[in-house]
Amino acid sequence: MLKQKIIDTISKYNLIQEGDKIVVGVSGGPDSMCLLDTLYYLKANLQIEIIVAHINHMIRKEADEETEYVKNYCNTRNIKCYVKKENVINLAKKEKIGTEEMGRKIRYEFFKEVLKKENANKIATAHNLNDNAETVLLNILRGSGISGLKGIEIKRSKFIRPLRECTREEIEEYCDKQKLNPKIDKTNFENIYNRNKIRNSLIPYLQKEFNSNILETLNRLSDIAKEEEEYFESVISKKYEALEIGKNEKEIILDLNKFNKLQKVIKSRIILYTINKVNGNIQGIGKIHIEDIIKLCKNNIGNKYIMPNKNIKIFINKGKIFFMGNINFP
């Protein structure tokens, strides 16, 4: 039943096409092993090629066992497997960011590295329905707007998530039936991080006291938010085109006068849209940053700038808004 659910998700969202070469992110846990195992058994029918990318974060003593487990699974099935070891804790301290954030950054950089090396065209990650519900709740608690309510998208750019409509319970049941014996990260049961607190405490409480189907409810909310966000993105894309007056390998330039005439909600979205174009993401950009940028534009004071994070610089000069970041336009 789970395989059919995955096939239906792939078909519904057009996640995979014949001839795709897919990098599969595999930790060795139930979710990623379920994803890898199902794609392995479906690859002949789907006519695809799969390559595994595994990161050893060197955080827990079991990490090396997990690496060997993933390598053995791949070796017995003739699946190409790339492994990388990184001391996430040391790197996080060096860059002065959280361990979770550092781990995510390393993983995704490695996935893209393997994608390029193998000339693959997609990256599959094992996010499931529970993960999505947790992300929606986490974003609500952070004060997110509609964009955050989308949660984890099933398909975005080169990334696909075939398990996004499967529950953690279904995934664990599949692993048991297939005798995969995945490795369990015991830190998932410790309320160290906010996500773990949501998973282990908040969601069970909401299920018991308010809504036994809270996971499905949150995922419906996520789907609705995605539909509305897609509409807004089409509107914002056109507004952006009317504002852009220049771009090069270092910056995007918008018309200040036209920007200041827009409604605040459109201004906010234009800012996020432009930052995403100039930097590839909007991580760490909060409401306070957007408010400050709008105020800077309204006051139209030259020689002042705002840096929402170390990768973005925004300033006003001679009727223009300059967004400087990591872009590399051809």
For the stretch 173-197, pLDDT in tens is 999 999 999 998 777 777 777 889 9
Least confident of 61-65, 108-112, 255-259: 61-65
Q: Does domain 248-324 have CATH number 3.30.465.60?
A: yes
| Selected residue with higher pLDDT from 309 and 127 | 127
Look up the CATH superfamily of 2-217. HUPs (3.40.50.620)
pTM confidence score: 0.82
Give me the pLDDT at residue 327, please.
59
- Main-chain dihedrals φ then ψ at residue 25, nearest 5 degrees: -75, 120
Give me the pLDDT at residue 256, please.
94
251-255 vs 320-324, strand pairing mode: antiparallel
Distance, in Å, from the CA atom of 209 to the CA atom of 204, rounded to the nearest integer, reads 9
| Mean per-residue pLDDT of the chain | 90
Give me the pLDDT at residue 312, please.
86
Give me the pLDDT at residue 330, please.
41
Residue 302 has pLDDT above 80, yes or no: no
Distance, in Å, from the CA atom of 27 to the CA atom of 125, rounded to the nearest integer, reads 10
Residue 125 has pLDDT above 50, yes or no: yes
Confidence of residue 284 (pLDDT cuts 50, 70, 90): confident
Distance, in Å, from the CA atom of 6 to the CA atom of 17, rounded to the nearest integer, reads 14
Do 2-217 and 248-324 fold alike per CATH?
Answer: no
Angle of helix 30-46 versus helix 2-12 axis, rounded to 10: 70
Check residue 235 and report its DSSP letter: H
Distance, in Å, from the CA atom of 197 to the CA atom of 206, rounded to the nearest integer, reads 13
Tokens of 189: 């049961």
Distance, in Å, from the CA atom of 300 to the CA atom of 256, rounded to the nearest integer, reads 8
Residue 249 has pLDDT above 90, yes or no: no
Task: Identify the residue whose tokens are 């193998």.
Answer: 118
The residues, ordered by sequence, that sit 6+ positions from 3 with a Cβ below 8 Å of its Cβ are 38, 41, 42
21-25 vs 159-160, strand pairing mode: unpaired
Least confident of 1-5, 100-104, 212-216, 238-242: 100-104
* Residue 110 identity (one-letter amino acid): F
What is the residue extent of each domain of the chain? 2-217, 248-324
Distance, in Å, from the CA atom of 53 to the CA atom of 43, rounded to the nearest integer, reads 17
Distance, in Å, from the CA atom of 119 to the CA atom of 293, rounded to the nearest integer, reads 40
Give me the pLDDT at residue 328, please.
53
Closest CA to 63 of 36, 93, 85, 94: 85
